[in-house]
Amino acid sequence: MVNITERIKDKLARLRAQLLEPGPGAGGAAGTGFDVSKSGDARIALVGFPSVGKSTFLSKVTKTKSSVAAYSFTTLTAIPGVLEYGGAEIQVLDLPGIIEGAAEGKGRGRQVISAAKTSDMVLMILDATKRAEQRFLLERELEAVGIRLNQEPPNIYLKQKKAGGMKITFSAPPKHLDEKMLYNILRDYKMLNCEVLVRDENATIDQFIDVIMKDHRTYIKCLYVYNKIDSISLEHLDTLAREPNTVVMSCELDLGIMDVVDRCWDELRLIRVYTKRKGIDPDFGEALIVRNNSSIEDVCDSIHRTLKESFKYALVWGASARHVPQRVGLSHVVADEDVVSIVGSKSGLATTTK
């Protein structure tokens, strides 16, 4: 027994050491992500401390098997899986566990965080049996590299000018800012000529800096998922489940996993559009998946890149149509489960799906 335990510990130590070295190409600098190409209609990244159950979750919701074990850093690279839902294919990225200090380049932290940055949504997997700070610590790691979770970009207009000095305007009396403050910050960032309009009276200094640094900020949705609820008291479970943007599950007992998937689908706000040829019923078996707030133009682009060149009008049935069918142009915004028929200029041809 002792021997096996020793061997596992040895292996663990080696893996840890390996992980703490910046890998080839990672360089410890900007921190490029893992080399996994994006595929499907959206990408979800599984982020969390070691051994919280990220790989177990991936293996539950996709056909991909990622190694699961009781020791930390079982997963050493990004493992992609495909989650099929509502006619969409969502790429789920299982990632190595991150540790405190990840943002400064500890472990593969930088790489993990870069991978999270390229995703449409972060699933922060947390261990329900561990202390409450884990959530805050992880958030801090992501914040440190410019990821903003569940926030909208601040409602502040900022335009750099060639000359003319600074022009700072507030559309309503600001609660946390004043002109002098902004002036000083802009000077620190060497933005001596610019126009600023603060449209949000609640805007903070941090938000203002985010606007200045907007090329280095990424706004991503995050769902907090507490796993291993099989090992906590009902009272504790109740507290966790009431936190905002939070779901609870037990991969071990197969509890709540579908709730997590449903919540992901809701948060991603993907839209299913069914295309229809003239005189033929739409094919409800094959949806075209587009992003929230997509227009008919986006729908055309996702069918074929030249389709809009011959576009004349579209007929729309469904929630986005004022009456059915509504005849619309390229700028019409579609809704989930709309049926769309694209009519081209040449022969009045309806669409073909891809």
Residues of span 244-303 touching ligand GTP by CB under 6 A: 250-252
Query: Does 59 engage in binding with K ion (CB under 5 A)?
Result: no
Shortest distance, position 261 Cβ to Mg ion, whole Å? 19
Query: Does 351 engage in binding with ligand GTP (CB under 6 A)?
Result: no
**Residue 148: contacted member of ligand GTP, Mg ion, K ion, none (CB under 5 to 8 Å, by partner type):** none
**Residue 119: contacted member of Mg ion, K ion, ligand GTP, none (CB under 5 to 8 Å, by partner type):** none
In the bound state, the residue with its beta carbon closest to Mg ion is 75
Token representation of residue 94: 């299982």
Please report where in the chains the tokens 């009456």 appear, as a residue: 323
Q: Say if residues 273 and 250 touch (Cβ distance below 8 Å).
A: no
Query: Does 227 engage in binding with ligand GTP (CB under 6 A)?
Result: yes
Shortest distance, position 54 Cβ to Mg ion, whole Å? 5
Residues of span 80-99 touching ligand GTP by CB under 6 A: 96-97
**Residue 227: contacted member of Mg ion, K ion, ligand GTP, none (CB under 5 to 8 Å, by partner type):** ligand GTP
Shortest distance, position 302 Cβ to Mg ion, whole Å? 33
In the bound state, the residue with its beta carbon closest to K ion is 74
Shortest distance, position 38 Cβ to Mg ion, whole Å? 21
Shortest distance, position 57 Cβ to K ion, whole Å? 12
Phi/psi at 79 (5° precision): -115, 115
Q: Say if residues 66 and 94 touch (Cβ distance below 8 Å).
A: yes
Write down the number of H helices and E strands in the chain. 9, 15
In this chain, which of 62, 75, 91, 207 binds ligand GTP, going by CB under 6 A?
Answer: 75
In this chain, which of 51, 56, 227, 341 binds K ion, going by CB under 5 A?
Answer: 51
Shortest distance, position 60 Cβ to ligand GTP, whole Å? 9
Measure the CA dihedral 31/37/42/47, to 10°: -40
Which stretch of DSSP H or E encloses residue 340?
Answer: strand 338-344
Q: Which is nearer to ligand GTP, 250 or 294 (CB)?
A: 250
Shortest distance, position 75 Cβ to Mg ion, whole Å? 3
DSSP E strands: which ranges in 153-259? 156-160, 166-170, 194-198, 218-227, 246-248
Q: Say if residues 251 and 57 touch (Cβ distance below 8 Å).
A: yes
Query: Does 50 engage in binding with ligand GTP (CB under 6 A)?
Result: yes
Question: Over the Cα atoms of the chain, what is R_g?
Answer: 24
Could you tell me where the DSSP H helices lie in the chain?
Answer: 2-20, 54-61, 109-117, 133-144, 179-188, 205-212, 234-241, 257-268, 296-303
Please report where in the chains the tokens 């510990």 appear, as a residue: 9
* DSSP-derived 3-state class of residue 18: helix
Alpha carbon 175 to its chain centroid, in Å, reads: 30
Query: Does 230 engage in binding with ligand GTP (CB under 6 A)?
Result: yes
Q: Which residues bind Mg ion (CB under 5 A)?
A: 54-55, 74-75
Nearest to 89 by CA among 287, 251, 304, 337: 287
| Residues found near ligand GTP in the complex (CB under 6 A) | 48, 50-56, 68-70, 72-75, 96-97, 227-228, 230-231, 250-252
